[in-house]
Amino acid sequence: MSDVAECVERLEINGDKENDDVVDPWTVVSKSDSGIDYEKLIKRFGSSRIDEELLERFTRVTGKPLHRWLRRGIFFSHRDLHRILTQHEQGKPFYLYTGRGPSSEAMHVGHLVPFVITKWLQDVFNVPLVIQLTDDEKYLWRDVSMDSLASIVKENVKDIIACGYDVEKTFIFSDFQFVGKCPEFYRNMIRVAKCVSFNQAKGIFGFGDSDPIGKIMFPAVQATPSFSSSFPFIFGSANVPCLVPCAIDQDPYFRMTRDVAPRLGCQKPALMHSVFFPALQGARTKMSSSDPLSSVFLSDTPKQIKNKINKYAFSGGQASVQEHREKGGNCEVDISYQYLRFFLEDDDKLEQIRKDYSSGAMLTGELKKVLIDVLQELVSTHQARRAEVTCDVIQRFMEPRKLKFSF
């Protein structure tokens, strides 16, 4: 059974009775304060858990310590990651592909997740990377002009480059700027679109009869960077597989892609899925660029960060100090602790914080202070690197060109 058919069958079987969480590429809503039920989501999507055996193999194959997001289960699900590790073991090439939907000029800290892990993967495996900015998607789904999207893309690219990518190994492109310049990309896009029926698109993405036809076409655009033949200036005629690190809400795009790949003579993309980065107000939803109070933005000042965490970060603590000392806090719902799982590097320190907060030895205000310090340093460091990204640097990253690899 194909990935698409299996997905549709699972959705029909499970429905809302089994899984009340809403997860698709545009909406993430949980019915629980602790967030999405990821075990249920794995079953619903038909992916595989990144288990201890796979993590041990990852360490053995790379010879490198695991990234903290792998150690802590932030990246928890996958498709065909074993195949990518086998490629590396055998000395065969692969590449990385990730992306960003540019919805606002200021990205928030949650947006860093795919880019930080992709930078780490690129360093560990020494492979090429393509980064797609889907400005066309945002034009189709939001009330935004093409002119304003051009400015948003430029600002987002600065934040992406500030993550530390090597310009000789990384190609960044926006759909509006690139697709018309590369016939091979457009041909693959149309080939994908020809393989997916309207009924399949409705089943995977929930499109309705009144949706613009551009929305129905768009999944083919996001699928196309999964195929190395879309970038002949990088890969020549080589048929190279790719690994896509992304949040699991993007998986429907790649279930579709994996289904059509063999019909195009291309290799199926492999995936690594992350959990969602929650809003300050709690784990029922992910952060939103459209709500400045739901997020800590990469443009925030130290004072803004402090105020947002102190005022809006959902607490798992008790109603009074005395009650908190007696009963302790709930790390499963406490946003400050959950953010530290992402951004505090020291495993031992994180575990001590968990024990102290859970036992009541650490108060909510003390926990928030730890997070404030971590985020202030993270954001200020990022802002300093971003300030060094000039227009010339942007142009170098976004120029179609051969990267420092031979295929």
Count CB atoms within 10 A of the CB of residue 395: 9
**The predicted structure's pLDDT at residue 265:** 96
Domain with CATH 3.40.50.620 in the chain: 3-279
The reply to whether CATH 3.30.565.10 applies to domain 288-386 is no
**The predicted structure's pLDDT at residue 289:** 57
**The predicted structure's pLDDT at residue 293:** 78
Rounded Cα distance between 147 and 145, Å, is 5
**The predicted structure's pLDDT at residue 27:** 73
C-alpha closest to that of 98 among 113, 77, 82: 113
**The predicted structure's pLDDT at residue 151:** 95
Strands 95-100 and 242-247, by their bridges, are parallel
**The predicted structure's pLDDT at residue 284:** 65
**The predicted structure's pLDDT at residue 15:** 44
162 is written with which tokens? Answer: 């500030």
**The predicted structure's pLDDT at residue 10:** 43
Count CB atoms within 10 A of the CB of residue 303: 9
Domain with CATH 1.10.240.10 in the chain: 288-386
Count CB atoms within 10 A of the CB of residue 362: 22
- Report the CATH fold assignment for 3-279: Rossmann fold (3.40.50)
Residue 191's contacts (CB-CB under 8 Å, 6 or more residues apart) are 264
Per-residue pLDDT tens listing for the chain (407 residues): 555 555 444 443 344 445 467 777 777 777 776 678 889 899 989 999 999 999 999 999 999 999 999 999 999 999 999 999 999 999 999 999 999 999 888 899 999 999 999 999 999 999 999 999 999 999 999 989 999 999 999 999 999 999 999 999 999 999 999 999 999 999 999 999 999 999 999 999 999 999 999 999 999 999 999 999 999 999 999 999 999 999 999 999 999 999 999 999 999 999 999 999 999 988 666 555 566 777 899 999 999 999 999 999 999 999 999 999 999 999 999 999 999 999 999 999 999 999 999 999 999 999 999 999 999 999 999 999 999 999 999 999 999 999 999 88
**The predicted structure's pLDDT at residue 2:** 54
**The predicted structure's pLDDT at residue 285:** 60
